[in-house]
Structure 1
Amino acid sequence: MKKRTFVGALFAMGAAAALSFTSSASAAGDWPQENITLVVPYAAGGTTDILSRRVADLLQGELGKPVVVENRPGAGSTVATAQLTRARDPNYRILMASPGHTIGAAIYPGLRYDPVNDFRFIRNVINIPNVLVVPANSPFNSVADVVKAAREKDGMAFSSSGVGSSIHMSGELFKSMIHGKMVHVPFRGSGEALPALISGDVDLSFENLPSVLPSIKGGQLKALAVTTAHPSPYLPGVPTIADAGKDLGLADYQTSAWFGLIANKKMSDEAVTKLQAALNKVMASDAFKQFLPQIGAEPATEQGEAFKEFVAKDVKKWAAVAEEAGIRRN
């Protein structure tokens, strides 16, 4: 009797193990089974937030599960990024990264994560140019005018939305490449920086396109060049800094405000593959294409390893600029 009981117990245990294995295999092949959290490492209302909410809406239609946006601002995006590396369930938490990811690595000492090797890079979603702009009544009408003044004039000021922003670092890169004497004047956001620029309190800025496009169209600001490798379709006739300054030390100048999805390095291959496929469908949709002009954006192309390589190059670029300019944040 005892032998039968023992054999029966073994059979039951084997059946339970087989059922458990089958259930686990099924679960592994059925991602997503839970809600997905898309973290925005900035406060609500900015470009990152607006983009993330649109992507979340469209993604959940492809994935069949809610994609919930969560704002976690702090320390130039490094607070939310550090939390991503400690995600309890790495398959269900993603983050909308931007230049803050690579600039933060350059200017915040003692970060407890590697900006490249501690993450999986799903896909770069959009690129937005920064624009070299001056007040409408400025004597500067070209990149050449700005370079000449920046090399000769002491105290020439460029504004930004804050230390370590892509706007600030675009200016520092420009200054470094032309060996200029420009002085950085940081403000608490573009809401404060733009009025100072328009009034002429500062000489120029390298503002994000969405922030200055209304002022350019309204005649309050002049757009002299864009920071990207190619001209922007939203500013016809405005050259790139690289083209306009190719004989002035700026032939290799290039930067943009990029926005892409990243995840914890422990996210499964299945989750990454399905998320990439869903995001590709989102970006190919008419709804997404019609959204892009609202934020002056163009679709990006880098995915997976190509996106990782793009980020790694950005980290090195900003590390060199930050070191030369002596930029560090606590």
Structure 2
Amino acid sequence: MYWTSQSCNCHCHAACTRALKCQAGGTEEMHMKLSHLMFIYALGLTVVSVEGHTQPWPTKPVRAIVPFAAGTLTDILPRLVFEELSTRLGQSIIVENRPGAGSTTAAGLVAKADPDGYTVLVNSSAHTIAPALYPALGFDPVRDFAAVVPLGLTPSVLVVSPASGFKTAADFVASAKAKPGVLNFGSAGVGTATYLSAMRFQYSAGVRATHVPFKGGPEIISEIIAGRIDFFFPPVANALPFVKDGKLTALVVNSAKRSAALPEVPTTSEAGFTDAEYPFWIGMFLPAKTPRAIIEKLHDEAVKALTTPKLQEKLVALGVDPMVMTPTEFDGFIEKQITADAALVTAAGIKTH
């Protein structure tokens, strides 16, 4: 049972008063009792002091660090979730975009932040690719972070120009095998999710294409529509409006199940290509030493936000599928993905930074 300041004051004061009424020259026993009473009094105040500094979370705005530019899916998705989540937490969530160095600049900032629950990292598949690409990270994606909750995943989709004549993935692969290295593909850069998605599919299908790097997805899509780039593996969310408008043809999605946004498009496994999956996920992280109670509360409230009908409707429109995991399961997923990504980076012969 905890002491309270009121009960401690009353009992100790009365006892001390009785003791002080004894003769001035009192015995050693009296002095020992008095010292004992004063120790208990001080201990009571200490417990009260500790209890008084235990506050509920959150009591002020939360800062969310996003390692990508505004307008990207990794920025749009958390902002949608935060609209609902901030209401549930009773505090605003302020998004700060800190792009650069394959998400490692932002991740490094959060890894060193105070573990008080007020600095959150929103990262993507880039979080698990980073260790293989940047051996001298300055932080450990597993030891320095607590995985909180996945916000969702969006499969990458193999898209081509309708003018290419490719109707199925089999058509595409047959052409690529007949002309090794002739077809080209765009990506947002070596080591990015769009690059690794394309590389994993090529290894699975046994084809080889020429890589053309770009600054971002919108430019690549424009080049495919114009006929200068042959294929691209963007997240479904980025390709969806162009597929719906007939400007791009979607051949396969590289996920375990079909995308709710493109239900007519088969998975790589359904098309006959094993080990070609490379889903693009987005999730929230906190510094590793954040109190477990805060991690669990943020997870639980985020899950409630994600399951509201209004938000679910918006996520489907974005091509984002649910990714349900507990914090412990998400931690385990991160460790497995780091291993898988490292193997792919090695197989692709990607140079580290």
TM-score normalised per structure 2: 0.85
Aligned to 2:66: 40
Aligned to 1:22: 51
Aligned to 2:218: 191
Aligned to 1:260: 283
For the Cα contact (< 8 Å) 2:220–2:229, is it kept in 1? no
**Sequence identity of aligned pairs in percent?**
33
Structure 1 residue 129 and structure 2 residue 155: aligned? yes
Aligned to 1:94: 120
- Residue by residue over 1:32-76, the C-alpha shift from the partner in whole angstroms, topping out at 9 and shown as x without a partner, is 223211111111111111111122221111111222111111111
Structure 1 residue aligned with 2:81, among 21, 33, 55? Answer: 55
1:9 Cα deviation after fit: 7.5
How far apart in 1 are the matches of 2:82 and 2:171? 43
How far apart in 2 are the matches of 1:69 and 1:243? 39
1:7 Cα deviation after fit: 9.1
Structure 1 residue aligned with 2:258, among 217, 220, 231? Answer: 231
One-letter code of the match for 1:114? D
Aligned to 2:270, what secondary structure does the other structure show? helix
For the Cα contact (< 8 Å) 1:176–1:321, is it kept in 2? no
For the Cα contact (< 8 Å) 1:107–1:328, is it kept in 2? yes
Residues 1:260 and 1:278: Cα distance change in structure 2 (over 3 Å) = same
One-letter code of the match for 2:308? S
One-letter code of the match for 2:225? I
For the Cα contact (< 8 Å) 1:56–1:69, is it kept in 2? no
Alignment of 1:278-297 (within 5 A): 278-297=301-320
Aligned to 1:159, what secondary structure does the other structure show? strand
Gapped regions of structure 2 (runs ≥ 5): 1-19, 25-30
How far apart in 2 are the matches of 1:316 and 1:8? 60
1:269 Cα deviation after fit: 0.9
For the Cα contact (< 8 Å) 2:186–2:220, is it kept in 1? yes
Structure 2 residue aligned with 1:204, among 209, 223, 231? Answer: 231
Structure 1 residue 138 and structure 2 residue 164: aligned? yes
Task: Give RMSD over aligned pairs.
Answer: 2.2
- Residue by residue over 1:206-262, the C-alpha shift from the partner in whole angstroms, topping out at 9 and shown as x without a partner, is 111122212112211111111111111222321011110x2xxx2232121111111
How far apart in 1 are the matches of 2:41 and 2:90? 36
How far apart in 2 are the matches of 1:90 and 1:151? 54
How far apart in 2 are the matches of 1:263 and 1:126? 17
Aligned to 1:173: 200
Alignment of 1:84-123 (within 5 A): 84-123=110-149
How far apart in 1 are the matches of 2:331 and 2:114? 23
Aligned to 1:137, what secondary structure does the other structure show? helix
- Residue by residue over 1:150-193, the C-alpha shift from the partner in whole angstroms, topping out at 9 and shown as x without a partner, is 33313221111222221111001112223322111111111211
One-letter code of the match for 2:160? V
Structure 1 residue 64 and structure 2 residue 87: aligned? no
Aligned to 2:246: 219
Aligned to 2:136, what secondary structure does the other structure show? coil
Aligned to 1:319: 342
Structure 1 residue 271 and structure 2 residue 297: aligned? no
Aligned to 2:14: none
One-letter code of the match for 2:224? L
How far apart in 2 are the matches of 1:96 and 1:279? 13
One-letter code of the match for 2:78? S
How far apart in 1 are the matches of 2:173 and 2:125? 25
Aligned to 2:289, what secondary structure does the other structure show? coil
Structure 2 residue aligned with 1:251, among 271, 274, 284? Answer: 274
Gapped regions of structure 1 (runs ≥ 5): none
How far apart in 2 are the matches of 1:226 and 1:178? 14
